[in-house]
A and B are shown apart, each in its own frame.
Chain A
Amino acid sequence: AQSVTQLGSHVSVSEGALVLLRCNYSSSVPPYLFWYVQYPNQGLQLLLKYTTGATLVKGINGFEAEFKKSETSFHLTKPSAHMSDAAEYFCAVGGGATNKLIFGTGTLLAVQP
């Protein structure tokens, strides 16, 4: 069985500060890992994904994430927050017997001026 835990349902940072959103996963098979972003009243948009190969993955809007197998983590970071980064972020894991992704419960990021 697969699962995802996102630590912190709400994270608040100042504009220009480091963004760190935490995601830990559980998977009995090599996982595929995803981060999605959702702006209010919109669908989810893929930020980045890890499948195989390089463990540091770069995505859109300056975000990146590092796959750490030993820590079963896939934390999302951005060096300098921008007001436009305020949104909800979802981590997801796939790689089981079906195509289904398992989503975390989301982290709402607030960016203070």
Chain B
Amino acid sequence: DGGITQSPKYLFRKEGQNVTLSCEQNLNHDAMYWYRQDPGQGLRLIYYSQIVNDFQKGDIAEGYSVSREKKESFPLTVTSAQKNPTAFYLCASSIAGREYGYTFGSGTRLTVV
């Protein structure tokens, strides 16, 4: 079955560490997105990519970085510059075309310890 896979499901980070969240899709979708979710704040867009080797900042890109070297993969690195990284992170993908909506992964919960 096609889908979008995020790993790990739970991740713990020490202060000052960089961590990378994985997002892989086998849906042949062109566009991929990263969102951060905090209680009561909905979904906030971190980065998105509409084509391989190209990506754009979303609303809260500071302290994060991404790459899009393959169509299937869009990893997110949470750097030490992100001062409050504890959150639920969601990856999504979509076909090019506004009417299709997104397919979401099951999320990664990142906690700073």
Kindly identify, within residues 74 to 90 of chain A, every residue whose CB is under 8 Å from any CB belonging to chain B: 90
Chain B residues proximal to chain A, CB less than 8 Å: 6, 31, 33, 40-43, 45, 48, 50, 88, 90, 92, 94, 96-99, 101-107, 109
- In Å, the complex CA distance between A24 and B99 comes to 18
Given contacts A32-B99, A100-B48, contact A41 B42 (CB under 8 A): no
Pick the residue among A43, A96, A106 that contacts B106 (CB under 8 A).
A43
Q: Is the CB of B43 within 8 A of A90?
A: yes
**Chain A residue contacts of B105, Cβ below 8 A:** 43
Shortest Cβ gap from B33 to chain A (Å): 8
Q: Can you list 26 contacts pairing A with B, beta carbon distance less than 8 Å?
A: A9-B40, A32-B101, A41-B88, A42-B107, A43-B92, A43-B105, A44-B90, A46-B102, A46-B103, A49-B101, A51-B99, A52-B99, A90-B42, A92-B101, A94-B98, A94-B99, A94-B101, A96-B98, A99-B50, A99-B98, A100-B33, A100-B45, A100-B48, A103-B42, A103-B43, A105-B40
Instruction: List CB contacts (< 8 Å) of A17-48 with chain B.
Output: 32, 34, 36, 41-46
Q: Quick one: given A42-B106, A43-B107, are A34 and B101 in contact (CB under 8 Å)?
A: yes
User: Which residues of chain A are near B103, meaning CB under 8 Å?
Assistant: 46
> Knowing that A45-B104, A52-B99, A99-B31 are A-B contacts, what are 8 other residue pairs whose CB atoms are under 8 Å apart, sorted by A's residue number?
A36-B104, A43-B90, A43-B104, A44-B90, A44-B102, A99-B50, A99-B98, A100-B45
Choose from B6, B31, B42, B94 the contact partner of A106 (Cβ within 8 Å).
Answer: B42
- Does A13 sit within 8 A of B, measured CB to CB? no
Chain B residues in 8 Å Cβ range of A99? 31, 50, 94, 96-98
**Are A95's CB and B107's CB within 8 A?**
no
Cα(A52)–Cα(B99), bound, Å: 9
The distance from the CB of A87 to the nearest CB of chain B, in whole angstroms, is 14
